[in-house]
Structure 1
Amino acid sequence: MEVGRELIRVDAADKVTGRAKYTDDFHEGPMLVAKVLHSTIANGLVKSIDTSAAEKVPGVVKILTCFDAPAIQYPTPGHPWSVEAAHQDVCDRRLLTDRVRVYGDDIAAVVAEDAVSAERALRKILVEYEEYPVITDPERAMNAPGVPVHEEHPDNILKSMNFDVITAGADVKTAREVLDDPRYHHFTGRYETQQVQHCHIENPISYAYMEHGRITVVASTQIPHIVRRVCGQALGIPWGKIRVVKPYIGGGFGNKQEVLYEPLNAWLTTQVGGRAVKLDVSREETFQNTRSRHPIRFALEAAVADDMRVMARSVRAVSNQGGYASHGHAIVANAVTGIRQLYPDALAHHTEAYTVYTNLPAPGAMRGYGIPQGDFAIECFMEDMARRMGWDPYEFRLRNLMPLGYVDPTNGITCHSTGLRECMEKGAEFIGWRELREKYRNQTGPVRRGVGMAIFSYKTGVYPISLETASARIILNQDGSVQLHLGATEIGQGGDTVFCQMAAQAIGIPTEDVHIISTQDTDTAPFDTGAYASRQTYVTGKAIKKAGEEIRDKILNYGGELLKRDPHGLGIRGRDVVDAGTGEALLSLSDLAEEAFYSLEHSVHITAEVTNHCKENTFAFGCCFAEIEVDIPVGKIKVLRIVNVHDSGKLINPKLAEAQVHGGMSMGLGYALSEEMKFDPATGRLLNGNLLDYKLPTAMDTPELTALFVETDDPSGPFGNKALGEPPAIPVAPAIRNALLHATGVAVDTLPLNPQKLVEAFQSAGLIE
């Protein structure tokens, strides 16, 4: 069995020795350097740009402004394109813009022989603006829009949704009927999450050049095939005239599931005769000018019966979309949908959600895609309801879990397998839930301890909301090994390793005999939409399995020809064609391959290439338990112990799965305790766009992380597997918040739980003066 082996990553040696090539390592010849001029206002119009002094700076090759760039609006999110206009992403970006919508908007670019010359030229460009009022608060933007961020949305609402879901068999017409029913207990809660940055090690970087009338873009991206399409759209040229190459990538976490500066770079090379142009953004630009996680405000209501059954809920969510649509309404829609799915209401559910333009930097995809925000809201709400009623929050959750076989009434996503109950049992046993809940019940003094929990569900991929498709190509090499070729991307998560294990399992050979290259080239790589939505081991995995089975059959057919035996009686085991009944080795794969390539009688190059159009989805589950210590006078939370327990179906590589969970938990800790992008509300300027002022946790701030698993066999997964990449980041923040509530009795309903906020909350509660 290759699936389930704890293999060392196939890219491990190259990465630790420095042999792995990233975007900045690829180009060996000289390149021009591009730098972007960013606006110094957050809302307004560029009236004029004077580049005369900048053009005289030695080394400057060309300066291009918003008045030179194509007047084409294009989309940027890493979504599959749709042939139906109603399902296409919002086109509201331009390469360079004269209509400024965020502080730091892209208004001009300098191309120079070196970075120093480009920076000097930037400082000499003079810009005249017409300024408009700045709106950074989404509620204000909706209700008092002033000058709209986008003229086609005068109320600044990009999109909204407002509907009721009635449970099958329920004799009610709206959720409001149940929420107002005096037979039930009624609750309300308000929760808010903050805007945070991905903080991947490698900043977004690309270089572009022209060859044979085509543009090649080499970029650090999660979505090379989508970058190709968007570059074509942005430049108004056929997509086939664009080639995108993706080398190793130094992290993305969703930020590079967006087409960022690749289209601008593609256009710049066309303006300098096709010479190679590098566009490498700084850490400050990464914070201000790429993407982040959406801040979302939630207002919840619930009606709960005496037996702890949630009868109905209402969720209102307002998402701050910033100045551009990016992934649009999909994020908040996913957040509120996740709230509904995790605890299906007995009678009815009301959903109301708004995605609102403001003058802040546009958020986009980030690990969890709205579910971390929604899970914080619902898991805090569940905790608050249980506390008010005197119920054990563990038992309250158990009473309302998504059951096996649940089918979402709006999109049809089905719960094919669930180990959530077992995950909760395992986590509770590890942390000592019942003992600690009693031990820390009635504490006094300045230092107190508490234990909290949170659960989650997470779908696998994007079907049926969007297209799910992937292709895989497998080629038999002359020595009997195989080459695996994918458009799916390794982005640091270990994808290439599990892809190889899947191919080996399907064919019947050792993983060591499957070779893969981490570089995707859209000219040669099979089509795949890329790394996002925890989709690749599920969607691409199905393509790999199909391709593996197809090449296995072709190998056996050729082996039957050589052995003069019925191929149906043959199998592959290890490095041999064997008798399927006895297991006897009959022919080595290396001899078969050599004969296939070089036979004078029947030479055939054995390959398989298949497409998997995935029309399935399923739910992954898990939970987090955290024990913390709170120093009340200084507002400091110390995490003593923390554990995530996951049901991600069958684990392809348990060690890599553990590493994924550790990484996600680390991100969750920062989200819970310290990370927040801070803006000047008057100007929209980011105040802490660097790794000194943005409080990213370090190794010194990280406790021992424990990852545990409950393996289920999901019938819809290619090997019984389902999502794992994003889930570990989801439940950490609400688990810590709920532990804080247990320790102090103080409910803090916004993130992050930093000292300033905690001290103010403790003062309001009378715990400190």
Structure 2
Amino acid sequence: MTRVDAIDKVTGRAQFTADLVPNPHLVAKVVRSTIASGRVVSIDTSKAERLPGVVGVWTCFDTDLPSYQIYTAGHPWVVDPAHRGDIEDRKILDARVRQYGDNIAAVVAEDSVTADRAVRLIEVEYEEYPIIFDYEDAVNPPAGAPPVHEECPGNVHAEWDTRTDLEGTGYGSIEEIHADPRWHHGSYTMATPRQQQAHIETCLSYCYMEGKRIVCVTSTQIPHIIRHSIGLALEIPWGDVRVIKPCVGGGFGNKQDVLYEPLNAWLCKKVGGRCVLLELTREEVFSCTRSRQPKRFVAEASWDDDMNLVARSCEGYSNSGGYASHGQAIVANGQGSFRYMYSGQEKACYTKALTYYSNQSTAGAMRAYGVPESTWAAECMMSDIAYDMGWDGAEFRLNNAIKLGYSDPFWPAPLVCVSNGLPECVERGKELIGWDEKRRLYADETGPVRHGVGMALLCYKCSVAGLELETASARMLLAEDGSVMLELGATEIGQGCDTVMCQMCADAVGVPFEAVHILSTQDTDVSPYGAGAYASRQTYVTGIAIKKVAAQLREKILAYAAGLIPDGQNLDLVDGQIVGGPDRDHLEPLMGLGELSCIAYYSRTDSQQISAEGTAQTDLNSFCLGACFVEVEVDVPLCKVEVKNVVQVHDSGRIINPATASGQVHGGIAQSVGFGLFEELIEDPATGRTLNDNFLDYKIPTMLDLPDLTAEFVETWDPTGPFGNKSLGEPPAIPAAPAIRDAILDATGVKLYEAPMTPQRLFEGFKEAGLV
């Protein structure tokens, strides 16, 4: 099916936040710290306040500044305070500076030029502290460096570990397994970069007041969560806040955070409810919003001579920067994936996840939520083992991969692999890339230009069900012409979910796809509740709500039809027609749904607006799986890698829309190629300042950097999914980077452990191996 938003988006009719800003409006700009750690001693705003066109300047010293510290992670509200995992560690303006570019004041002016001039006129005096830059600094701070947050004196805001049960193995600990001389053993240290989401639309919102209520129109993935965050930050009832989400030009997790909406709402109140636009520059998006957390992994593995993993260990250390954001949830999610991806044969697995504060810029959610990083660690290890043992990497991986029936022992509710098309994914990927033939063809290359093939697997949950709240609501209304108006809390952010939701609705109600009209804009005053676009959850969880509410709507329609067709037998709704008859296998059309609906609206004896609304909650969860195969050409003297071919095959259950599914895979591959070869936000250890905060210096793959991409699907039926479907949104961004690394190893014999594999890092690896 063609995307329901296709015409509006290709013609430019689609309305994004910037298209909707009313005139006249005021413009807000944030005054940012020029140090990474310290305290603001004084702020002189007098020159800025005298500038014509400046409406007001507010600083971290304002006496009526809200004192409530908020959490910014876009997670559903937890009713029980004892079980709230998100850390409330941020004020909308703060004199304590914890990262370069921290929010210390704000200007509101009549236009953006005046606001920019005013920001430059503000003079700030600081007391500067030594910078805590990495894990070593966090646990052993430089002399004179206070904790990043006083309430966290050790700078480690969370540490968890998991150990599988050793009963029956004959070992007392996993360390004993690693020390057993019967097994081969390897130790590995890997690192992954700070990657920016690089969405095209910047981060922006505008706020105005209607009576005593604040209206915030914002580009976000989480409108309902933004509402209660504004309420908490401003210490006002949540019902006094209305949040509207128009079309969104990409988010990839950055907009799953509460960014500047609470500050903008407060500034709106300070100027008497006038409309205030707060839009970040591209440089501010790169350095002052969120990014993928940079991580370091220390891993060990033991294995036998028959391609069986005996035990694995992995410690993951994650740098969240100056504030927690999503914090420990990200590295913990990744370590979970490390655990169950290769759970097939091993006796024991140990994982540790640790997240620490630093004076780097705040990191948070990015597509696949920690799993690309942990998969990098797992796949580097699997590649090395297969290479050193002379094994086929595909065979070795598949022998140890997650098996049908696997149940994770550490998940609070059942997290079970109830459908598994991974073997078919691997076989299809091998066939499409020419795995066996090319491994033989490239085996003996020794020249300056070499070729290789590599692969990696992926494993990802379908939601956060079983660990956190998974709920979604839907509303369906029958219009006079028999079409169905669909309203959801599920947010379309460019990924195509509106189209898939319409397909689900049409199928479940019994109307043509064209007869479903979805309200894409979420408005917390009228839209049913939905937590938002994250965790690859929307098709999986909202699909359950659609199926439930559609059944209610069908029942009401058929009940009304029974009153209009009293002698009707076996009434049903098929393709927008009321059908019936004595033979269930040969039902005849009796009445069009449009005719029935028109009667229902305008009947003088039984007028009804037929509608249905409901909420679905689930603790069911499953695994989506897949395999990526890559062919590369490596120019050894130039230290250059060209990706020649990428094939990615997914088991995401039943595919609802093959075209949008393929688009998701292509986009995910591009982001993973960037993760593996190009993308890294670089921060200066001396100042904490981001050095490449723009698209000129921060490189993402362009069309010229990518070959033709092949996306295929092995369709399984997953009984936990509402239509047999599983997740697909984030998994495509996981495996290409380690598959490229595996292909470079195949081509050159050089083992690389830090992403991205830039020419400089390739040079260092090639030089150590004696190739250059």
Q: Please report the TM-score for the alignment, with normalisation by the length of structure 1.
A: 0.98
Deviations 1:268-297 (A, max 9, x none): 100000000000000000011100001111
The reply on whether 1:61 has 2:63 as its aligned counterpart is no
**For 1:256, what is the secondary structure of its paired residue?**
helix
Residue equivalent to 1:82: 78
The CA deviation at 1:169 is: 4.9
Counterparts in 2 of 1:5-16, with a 5 A limit? 7-16=1-10
Distance, in Å, in 1 between the alignment partners of 2:455 and 2:322 is 36
Residue equivalent to 1:539: 541
Structure 2: gaps spanning 5 or more residues: none
Contact (CA 8 Å) 1:223, 1:489: kept in 2 or not? yes
Residue equivalent to 2:586: 582
Deviations 1:686-742 (A, max 9, x none): 000000011112111121111011000100000000110001110000000000000
Residue equivalent to 2:402: 402
Contact (CA 8 Å) 2:132, 2:141: kept in 1 or not? no
Residue equivalent to 1:466: 468
Contact (CA 8 Å) 1:172, 1:347: kept in 2 or not? no
Contact (CA 8 Å) 1:313, 1:350: kept in 2 or not? yes
Aligned residues: 761
The CA deviation at 1:308 is: 1.6
**For 1:633, what is the secondary structure of its paired residue?**
coil
Residue equivalent to 1:28: 22
**For 1:147, what is the secondary structure of its paired residue?**
coil
Distance, in Å, in 2 between the alignment partners of 1:306 and 1:760 is 32
The reply on whether 1:614 has 2:636 as its aligned counterpart is no
Distance, in Å, in 2 between the alignment partners of 1:239 and 1:202 is 28
Matched AA of 1:190: T
Moved more, 691-700 or 342-351: 342-351
Contact (CA 8 Å) 1:166, 1:172: kept in 2 or not? no
The reply on whether 1:18 has 2:12 as its aligned counterpart is yes
Distance, in Å, in 1 between the alignment partners of 2:289 and 2:87 is 17
Structure 1 residues 416 and 75: alpha-carbon distance in aligned structure 2, compared to 1, 3 A threshold: same
The reply on whether 1:317 has 2:316 as its aligned counterpart is yes
Residue equivalent to 2:353: 353
**Which residue, 670, 676, 682 being the options, matches 2:674?**
670
**For 1:176, what is the secondary structure of its paired residue?**
helix
Distance, in Å, in 2 between the alignment partners of 1:111 and 1:91 is 27
The CA deviation at 1:85 is: 2.0
Residue equivalent to 2:130: 133
The reply on whether 1:154 has 2:153 as its aligned counterpart is yes
The CA deviation at 1:168 is: 6.9
Counterparts in 2 of 1:96-107, with a 5 A limit? 96-107=93-104
Distance, in Å, in 2 between the alignment partners of 1:583 and 1:172 is 66
**Which residue, 703, 718, 723 being the options, matches 1:719?**
723
Matched AA of 2:273: G
The CA deviation at 1:611 is: 0.4
Residue equivalent to 2:376: 376
Deviations 1:540-578 (A, max 9, x none): 0100111111101110010011101467x1111112100
Distance, in Å, in 2 between the alignment partners of 1:264 and 1:217 is 11
**For 1:473, what is the secondary structure of its paired residue?**
strand
Distance, in Å, in 2 between the alignment partners of 1:222 and 1:712 is 29
The reply on whether 1:343 has 2:337 as its aligned counterpart is no
Counterparts in 2 of 1:422-571, with a 5 A limit? 422-565=424-567, 569-571=570-572
Contact (CA 8 Å) 1:174, 1:350: kept in 2 or not? no
The CA deviation at 1:238 is: 0.9
The CA deviation at 1:346 is: 2.5
**For 1:384, what is the secondary structure of its paired residue?**
helix
Distance, in Å, in 1 between the alignment partners of 2:154 and 2:166 is 33
Distance, in Å, in 1 between the alignment partners of 2:364 and 2:83 is 18
Matched AA of 2:92: L
Contact (CA 8 Å) 1:645, 1:708: kept in 2 or not? yes
The CA deviation at 1:212 is: 1.6
Distance, in Å, in 1 between the alignment partners of 2:534 and 2:727 is 11
**For 1:690, what is the secondary structure of its paired residue?**
coil
The CA deviation at 1:651 is: 0.5
Deviations 1:322-368 (A, max 9, x none): 01000010010011110001011522111222101010111111001
Contact (CA 8 Å) 1:484, 1:515: kept in 2 or not? yes
Please report the RMSD computed on the Cα atoms of aligned residues, expressed in angstroms: 1.1
Residue equivalent to 2:114: 117
Moved more, 518-527 or 394-403: 394-403
Residue equivalent to 2:689: 685
Contact (CA 8 Å) 1:166, 1:174: kept in 2 or not? no
Structure 1: gaps spanning 5 or more residues: 1-6
Distance, in Å, in 1 between the alignment partners of 2:590 and 2:196 is 57
Contact (CA 8 Å) 1:167, 1:346: kept in 2 or not? no
Distance, in Å, in 2 between the alignment partners of 1:652 and 1:610 is 22
Counterparts in 2 of 1:42-53, with a 5 A limit? 42-53=36-47
Residue equivalent to 1:41: 35
Contact (CA 8 Å) 1:206, 1:262: kept in 2 or not? yes
Matched AA of 1:356: Y
Distance, in Å, in 2 between the alignment partners of 1:171 and 1:551 is 58
Contact (CA 8 Å) 1:224, 1:246: kept in 2 or not? yes
Distance, in Å, in 1 between the alignment partners of 2:119 and 2:628 is 48
Deviations 1:649-669 (A, max 9, x none): 001101110111111111111
Matched AA of 2:73: P
Counterparts in 2 of 1:260-275, with a 5 A limit? 260-275=259-274
The CA deviation at 1:306 is: 2.1
The CA deviation at 1:144 is: 3.2
Distance, in Å, in 1 between the alignment partners of 2:452 and 2:167 is 40
Matched AA of 1:44: G
**Which residue, 67, 73, 76 being the options, matches 2:69?**
73
Distance, in Å, in 1 between the alignment partners of 2:110 and 2:255 is 27
Matched AA of 2:717: D
Counterparts in 2 of 1:645-660, with a 5 A limit? 645-660=649-664
Distance, in Å, in 1 between the alignment partners of 2:442 and 2:629 is 15
Distance, in Å, in 2 between the alignment partners of 1:346 and 1:380 is 18
The CA deviation at 1:162 is: 2.7
Deviations 1:145-174 (A, max 9, x none): 642111111111010013311267544442
Deviations 1:445-488 (A, max 9, x none): 11000000000100011112211010000000011011000011
Residue equivalent to 2:287: 288
Residue equivalent to 1:4: none
Contact (CA 8 Å) 1:672, 1:753: kept in 2 or not? yes
